[in-house]
């Protein structure tokens, strides 16, 4: 067994921590010595209403365990206020777990602007606001850990979730860029796509599956990614029911056409089998990996 992961003297913000995954994360960080900001708006799974009790109940649970926590009931859209709670009570912020979420599932044909906007406001704008407010503190102290919560629906698509899918995969792009910008300041940013029983999934998945999908089986990955020992940054992990795996991009070798000659769609069709052939594929990781083949095809030596 490796050394125990501890968060003594670390301040952890968990958004949407009044229930489900967030509650599980908040309790575990507190058990491991963190001072926790338990944020939750306390709204419905569709984003309506507001009940301050959700966050306070989890704070009570943490205190009953002998831990340290404070409640915050702002929406993640007011990220500054959440970070302000951390700074006022505990003087710093070391870890942000962007977890708060809602669903507005409906087929694309029936989707309204409100369905689209609300999902993006909570998931992408909310994650941006909380992280943006914490960022200067993390930069200043030369330390930070951020975990964003994506979804399989974002990675693979899912019927009725065009709004949610686009927001969730957006958080992966957000993770990649913040990982690059945070690297010089020891800010590690990673992303999870969880599967767990919660009010968001209990109506969708069969009861026997729900019984095995304990949020507590997702939290250990989040704790690991938020730890001082965490080395990787910008990565995406799938996690659920005790299964944890890492995802990466795969790209075919592709086909190079002469950039000086006219390129017709028929030539693309003729080369199609090779364009989509994953034999001898590559695993691109950086923006340079997408620019290099383009530069190479132009015969230009890249100075990236
Ligand atoms: P949940 O509904 O149990 O918990 C989400 C919490 O976020 C709720 O307590 C809710 O009040 C809070 N919240 C909603 N809007 C908020 C806002 N504007 N500001 C602050 N808090 C807000 O759901 P669950 O399943 O625990 O979801 C946690 C995260 O995991 C979400 O981002 C969800 O999209 C994501 N996720 C969950 C999956 C699952 O299988 N449960 C699958 C993929 C992603």
CATH code of the domain containing 272 = 1.10.287.4290
Alpha carbon nearest to ligand 1 atom 8, residue = 16
Decide: 218 in ligand 1 pocket, CB within 6 A: no
pLDDT value for 198: 84
Query: What does each of the 304 residues of the chain score in pLDDT, given as a tens digit?
Result: 678 999 999 999 999 999 999 999 999 999 999 999 999 998 777 766 666 789 999 999 999 999 999 999 999 999 999 999 999 999 999 999 999 999 999 999 999 999 999 999 999 999 999 999 999 999 999 999 999 999 999 999 999 999 999 999 999 999 999 999 999 999 999 999 999 998 878 877 888 889 999 999 999 999 999 999 999 999 999 999 999 999 999 999 999 999 999 999 999 999 999 999 999 999 999 999 999 999 999 999 877 5
Decide: 103 in ligand 1 pocket, CB within 6 A: no
The CB density around residue 211, as the number of other CB atoms within 10 Å, is 10
Among 247, 271, 291, residue at a domain's last position: 247
pLDDT value for 304: 57
- Do 134 and 206 lie in a common domain? yes
Q: Does residue 18 sit within a domain?
A: yes
Question: What letter would DSSP give residue 149?
Answer: E
Cα-to-centroid distance, 214 and ligand 1 (Å)? 14
Cα-to-centroid distance, 21 and ligand 1 (Å)? 7
Decide: 122 in ligand 1 pocket, CB within 6 A: yes
- Do 262 and 236 lie in a common domain? no
- Do 78 and 66 lie in a common domain? yes
The CB density around residue 214, as the number of other CB atoms within 10 Å, is 15
- Structural domain count of the chain: 2
Q: Does residue 4 sit within a domain?
A: no
pLDDT 10s digits, 52-88 = 789 999 999 999 999 999 999 999 999 999 999 999 9
CA angle 218, 182, 84 (to 5 degrees): 75
- Do 174 and 296 lie in a common domain? no
- Do 215 and 259 lie in a common domain? no
- Do 164 and 255 lie in a common domain? no
Q: Does residue 301 sit within a domain?
A: yes
- Do 243 and 261 lie in a common domain? no
CATH code of the domain containing 241 = 3.40.50.720
Question: For all residues of the chain together, what is the average pLDDT?
Answer: 95
- Do 137 and 197 lie in a common domain? yes
Alpha carbon nearest to ligand 1 atom 29, residue = 99
Residue from 100, 125, 169, 195 to probe ligand 1 pocket by mutation (most atoms less than 8 Å from CB): 100
Q: Which helix (H) or strand (E) holds 69?
A: strand 68-72
Residues ≥6 apart with Cβ < 8 Å to 133 = 79, 80, 82, 83, 84
Decide: 85 in ligand 1 pocket, CB within 6 A: no
Cα-to-centroid distance, 149 and ligand 1 (Å)? 9
Cα-to-centroid distance, 20 and ligand 1 (Å)? 7
For the chain, where are the alpha helices, taking DSSP H only? 20-31, 53-64, 79-90, 113-120, 126-141, 152-156, 162-182, 207-212, 219-225, 265-270, 272-275, 287-297
Q: Does residue 2 sit within a domain?
A: no
Q: Does residue 3 sit within a domain?
A: no
pLDDT 10s digits, 138-148 = 999 999 999 99
- Do 75 and 167 lie in a common domain? yes
- Do 142 and 78 lie in a common domain? yes
Residue with tokens 């606001």: 129
- Helix and strand numbers, DSSP H then E, in the chain: 12, 8
- Do 241 and 254 lie in a common domain? no
Cα-to-centroid distance, 263 and ligand 1 (Å)? 47
Among 247, 263, 279, residue at a domain's last position: 247
Q: Write down the pTM of the prediction.
A: 0.96
pLDDT value for 66: 98
Q: Which one of the listed residues 137, 164, 172, 283 is annotated catalytic?
A: 164
Atom of ligand 1 minimally distant from the CA of 54 = 9
Task: Give the domain extent around 115.
Answer: 11-247
Q: For residue 125, report the phi and psi dihedrals to the nearest 5 degrees.
A: -65, -40
d(CA 198, CA 264): 51
pLDDT value for 126: 98
- Do 232 and 263 lie in a common domain? no
For the question of residue 128 being annotated catalytic, the response is no
Q: For residue 216, report the phi and psi dihedrals to the nearest 5 degrees.
A: -65, -15
The residues pairing with 245 across neighbouring beta strands, listed in sequence order, are 238
Decide: 223 in ligand 1 pocket, CB within 6 A: no
Question: What letter would DSSP give residue 125?
Answer: I
């Amino acid at each position: 067994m490796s050394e125990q992961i501890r968060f003594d003297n670390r301040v952890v913000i968990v958004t949407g921590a009044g229930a489900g995954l967030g509650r599980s994360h908040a309790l575990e960080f507190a058990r491991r010595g963190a001072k926790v900001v338990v944020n939750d708006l306390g709204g419905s799974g569709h984003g309506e209403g507001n009940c301050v009790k959700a966050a306070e109940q989890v704070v009570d649970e943490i205190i009953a365990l002998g831990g340290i926590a404070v409640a915050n009931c702002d929406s993640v859209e007011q990220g500054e206020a959440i970070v302000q709670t951390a700074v006022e009570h505990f003087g710093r912020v070391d870890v942000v777990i962007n977890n708060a979420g809602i669903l507005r599932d409906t087929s694309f044909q029936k989707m309204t602007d409100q369905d689209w906007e609300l999902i993006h406001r909570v998931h992408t704008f909310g994650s941006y606001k909380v992280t943006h407010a914490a960022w200067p503190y993390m930069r200043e102290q030369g330390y930070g850990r951020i975990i964003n919560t994506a979804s399989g629906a974002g990675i693979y698509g899912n019927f009725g979730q065009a709004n949610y899918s686009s927001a969730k995969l957006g958080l992966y792009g957000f993770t990649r860029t913040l990982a690059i910008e945070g690297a010089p300041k020891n800010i590690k940013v990673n992303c999870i796509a969880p599967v767990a029983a919660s009010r968001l999934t209990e109506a969708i998945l069969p009861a026997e599956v729900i019984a095995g999908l304990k949020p507590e089986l997702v939290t250990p990955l989040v704790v690991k990614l938020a730890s001082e020992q965490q080395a990787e940054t910008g990565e995406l992990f799938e996690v659920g029911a005790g299964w944890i795996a890492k995802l990466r991009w795969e790209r075919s070798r592709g086909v190079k056409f002469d950039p000086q000659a006219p390129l017709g769609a028929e030539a693309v069709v003729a080369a199609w089998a090779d364009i989509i052939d994953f034999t001898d594929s590559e695993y691109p990781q950086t923006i340079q990996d997408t620019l290099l083949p383009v530069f190479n095809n132009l015969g230009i030596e890249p100075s990236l």
